[in-house]
Amino acid sequence: MLLTNMKKPILISGIQPTGRLHLGNYLGALKNFVELQNSGKYQCYFFVADYHSLTEDFDPNQKSEQILNLTADYLAAGLDPKKSAIFLQSRVPQSTELAWILGAITPFGELGRMTQFKDKSGAQKENVNVGLFTYPVLMAADILLYDAGVVPVGEDQLQHLELARTLARKFNSKFGQTFVESKALLTATPRLMSLDDPTKKMSKSSPAGCLFIDDEPAEIEKKIKAAVTDSGSEVKYDEQNKPAISNLLMIYGELSGKSVGEIEKKFSGKGYAEFKKSLAKTVVEYFADFRKQKTSLIKKPATLKKVLRLGSGQAHAIAKKKIHEIKNKIGLLI
């Protein structure tokens, strides 16, 4: 049965239900989630970070749809409730309890230095809320509550993971060994760049440069055709001088299983247009099964809810024990 093999290292990660997943989310996180799950080496927990998503402006009428949409992404990409606990963050209230406890040992200044806080508070000036500031503390709680040793994420989350490690160390030295110091696991593409500007990370907040993994074939072809390229005409990996083509080469390599060298050879003397046409075909074919699965899953909200209910129950059982241990350590159990 699922969470019974307690000897395997514990792995956890989550994504916010804020919008459609793009290729950066896939190549930096979700593809890896599936591979790590299927490696059989870890006891895996994957969740929908709905509480974190409240820190951005949102429409309550759309939130449940966004949650189910991300759950469908997880399943269509290959996450399997028989192998992993797939759950909803807000169904495990111990995470917010722990966030409060950890908040009491988090230096104010550390949170103010977080790049994501600075970026997001700059981007949403009308809504610089406290949740945006304490976001990394809740993220640390998500990780520490499950004794997770491994956390697969994209590069932009590394600073948050470092805080989780710092808080684990600090708590352990103050109150006795309680938490595991987790390690980040990055993919070969931890920071995929935008299609319309290779100096910026592909991000949901800038949809014009995103290739969404549930985009229809015609849309994929249109976006890749329009993607920015560099001067010259040679298909060559060169991050310094050819950042746009290098980014497209990374995508091609990751989705075709070919090495960058092989792809360069294949397109030697052929120019950008032919390369882009082949890349579009590769992307369309790669996600064909995903699109089919997702279209079918999205029509079955009851199935999606059942998956979250099952996983949340599993996560909750672990979290309840851990919060008891934590409260005991800090003298709250009277």
Residues binding ligand TRP (CB under 6 A): 12-16, 49, 52, 139, 142-143, 151, 153, 157
Q: What is the DSSP letter of 8?
A: S
Nearest residue to ligand ADP by CB is 28
Which of ligand ADP, ligand TRP, none has residue 190 at its interface (CB below 5 to 8 Å by kind)? ligand ADP
Which of ligand ADP, ligand TRP, none has residue 14 at its interface (CB below 5 to 8 Å by kind)? ligand TRP
d(CA 141, CA 171): 12
Instruction: Name the residue nearer to ligand ADP (CB basis): 201 or 276.
Output: 201
223-256 burial by CB neighbour count: b if 16+ within 10 A, else e? bbeebbbbeeebbbbeeeebbbbbbbbbbbbbbb
Q: In angstroms, what is the minimal distance from the CB of 286 to ligand TRP?
A: 22
Kindly tell me the burial class for residue 196, based on how many C-beta atoms sit within 10 Å of its own C-beta (0-12, 13-18, 19 or more). Answer: middle
Instruction: Name the residue nearer to ligand TRP (CB basis): 141 or 220.
Output: 141
Contact between 318 and 3 (Cβ < 8 Å):
yes
- Does the annotation count 120 as an active-site position? yes
Q: What is the DSSP code string of 37-76?
A: HHHT-SEEEEEE-HHHHTTS---HHHHHHHHHHHHHHHHH
Q: In angstroms, what is the minimal distance from the CB of 101 to ligand ADP?
A: 25
Instruction: Name the residue nearer to ligand TRP (CB basis): 52 or 276.
Output: 52
- Does the annotation count 170 as an active-site position? no
- Does the annotation count 204 as an active-site position? yes
Q: In angstroms, what is the minimal distance from the CB of 232 to ligand TRP?
A: 35
Instruction: Name the residue nearer to ligand TRP (CB basis): 34 or 49.
Output: 49
Residues contributing to the site for ligand ADP (CB under 6 A): 15-16, 24-25, 27-29, 153-154, 156-157, 189-192, 201-204
**Which of the following is catalytic: 204, 258, 266, 270?**
204
Kindly list the strands in the beta sheet with 43-48, ordered across the sheet, starting from the edge strand earlier in the chain. 84-88, 43-48, 10-15, 150-152, 183-185
d(CA 330, CA 148): 21
| 3-state SS class at 15 | strand
Q: In angstroms, what is the minimal distance from the CB of 28 to ligand ADP?
A: 2
Residues labelled catalytic:
120, 201, 204
